[in-house]
Structures are given as structure tokens and as C-alpha cells.
Amino acid sequence: MDFSWTPEQDAYKRAVVDFAKDNLNDEVIDRDRRGELSLDNWRKCAEFGILGLPVSPDYGGAGEDILTTMLVMEGLGYGCTDLGLVFAINAQMWSVQHPIETFGTEEQKERYLPGLCRGDLIGAHGMTEPDAGSDTASLQARAKRVDGGYVLSGVKTFSTNAPICHLAVVFATLDPGLGRGGITAFLVDREAQGFSVSNDISKMGLRTSPMSEIVLRDCFVPDSARLGSEGAGLAVFNSSMEWERSCILAGNIGAMERQLEGCIRYARERRQFGQPIGKFQSVSNRIADMKVRLETARLLLYKVAWLKQNRKPAVVEAAMAKLYLSESFLQSSLDALRIYGGYGYMTEFEVERQVRDAIGGTLYSGTSDIQRVIIARMLGL
């Protein structure tokens, strides 16, 4: 594995960092307080080419390989302090655009992907339900076969981007008796009769990333809206989750690097008992631990990207990266808060928001405990 970057890749990352610093960090504290996504910043990211990074140029994307995409998203997380925006963008890239490009028909790709890459369309993902999260076999949403299509009924929850979406990738079962074998994926337009979303769900962190329920009340979708074949929904879901677990936290690598640099500066400047606080071992040890977490998490993430680029299986590696990176970002955020002391607890220093945002990473795209289950199963336990 060679993780050295070409001059072009390094320049691309630097350009994204500069773009993010110059354009995406306006009023983040206020928007976090309001729980508001900046659609203007979303469109800026689309115009810069971020949303279409891994998508084929045939459908309006940049056609970048996965390693380059990871590096660029790392740069976005470094330059952009609005991790809710970074998360919302990743959610669309991996749980909406990826399954459409991988499993969609030519008509579906041409209809949706260019608009998603341009930022004209926003996509949501509907798998989790009030009584079915990690346990996909307990899915309650139903799809009934009718002339010309399907009628969908059910409720999805914790759906990122749903309040502002134009379409949603929704999973429902055709036959509960088949368990996971009955799950089928559909592309549902927001304007479809019987499709609605709830009010935005208020959250502890990632507050600028909109989230709500998706409600399907006898929602008719034509045959052309099915994504993949009947009963292939779990394959669609697992594919998108492997990519999402691999990629959705790339931005957090950049955020961890920015966080570490901020702590080093603060530890040099803040003085207590006649010396910089970085001279105290309790502070310097925390910073050393933050550096170790950052570099090991980065290597895990790059390994997954290398495996995916070389078309090798990465189920256990993706689970390991998701588990380690999310837990590392949370621990390092708590360490940062302790280093800043009382100032870290204050909103204006933006450290407490890092803690709140980091906690979400241990939950979405499969909780840390689910990642441990996946790893254990792959080890034969």
C-alpha cells in the first residue's frame, strides 16, 4: 500500500481547505443554535465539485477515485468547522448517490445524478424505523405489488436531509415471511402522493444537518422507481453502508487535525503557575494521545480506501475504521475540552460543539456496538 499523494492530489486538498475556510464558516454558532443547514453553502460545495467527486462524468460528476475522494473530504473537514454540513453532504454522497449509480437503471442515473451533483436536488435515505434500527429483519414498512408499480406504507425515522429532500432512497419489504430476503429499495420523489416528512428533529449535535421522519401513506411508486431487483434491498443497503462507513468519517480526520493544532496553540499560549500549560504533563500527555489517535485512524481509513479502490472486500476493515475513528474523535474532543478548561465549555470557543458533534459518530451508520458485532462475526464468533 502506497499512501503517498501526487502533487495534483495535494493541490486538490489544499484548494478544498482554502475554499472551505473562505466560504463555509460563516455564522456556524448561530446556525448550530437554530439547527439550520445553509443551503447557500450546500450549493457552493456543489459548484466546487465536492458533491460529485466520486460520480462518473457521464452523470455530472468528477469521476475521482476513492483515495482522492477521501483526501478531499478530509480537507473539507479540516477547513469547514460546520461538521453538520460535512455530514449532510457525505450522507447524500454515500447513501443516495452511490446506490443510484451502482444499482440504478440508466434512466434513474440520468434523471437523478446530475441534479444531485449540481446541488439542484437533495437526497435522503430511509431505512431506520422507530422499531427497526440495526435489526433490518424487523423492518415494518411494506411494499404491495399493484398494477404498474407498488404501494408503500410505513414510517422511517432519523432520515438525514429528509426535511429538505427532493427524493429519498426508501426500503420496504414485499413479504415479511422472507425476512431480509423480502426487502426492496425504491426511489421516491417528494411530490409522490402519500409521501410526507415530519418537522425537523432537534438533536444534541450535528444540528446543522437536517433530520426528520419520512411518512409513507399508501404511497404509489411506478415500476421505474424500484432500485435494483425485488428482494435485493439488503444488498443495496449493505453496499451503501460499507461505503458510508468507509467514507462518512473522512471529514472527521480533518476535524481531528484542526482540533489537535488548536490544542497545541492553546497549550503554548495559555499560562498558569508561571508557564505554558503545555509544560504540564497532564496536558502534554493528552495532546500526545490525540496525535496517536489521529494518525492511527487516518491509516485505518486510508487502508479501507485502498482496498475499495482495488476492488477488494473491506467489510471488517470498514467496521474497524468506523468504530475506531468515531470513538477516537469523541475521546479527543473530550481531551480538547479538558485542555481548554472552562473556556472549552463556552460556546464561543467552539470546542463544546466538537464534543456534541463527535458523539453522533458513535451512533450513525451503525453504532459502535454494531461495528463490534460485525468484526466479531467476521472473526467467526
Residues forming the active site: 244
Nearest Cα neighbor of 246 from 372, 367, 94, 83 is 94
Q: 3-class secondary structure for 302-328? A: HHHHHHHHCCCCCHHHHHHHHHHHHHH
Contact 51, 116 (CB under 8 A): yes
d(CA 141, CA 317): 31
Report the alpha-carbon angle 152-155-159, nearest 5.
110
Q: Which helix (H) or strand (E) holds 158?
A: strand 149-160
**Residues 166 and 195 sit within 8 Å (Cβ to Cβ):** no
Cell numbers that stand for 4 in this block: 503517498
Q: What angle do CA 212, 217, 218 make, to 5 degrees?
A: 145
- Rounded Cα distance between 54 and 161, Å, is 20
Q: Are 319 and 244 in contact (CB under 8 A)?
A: no
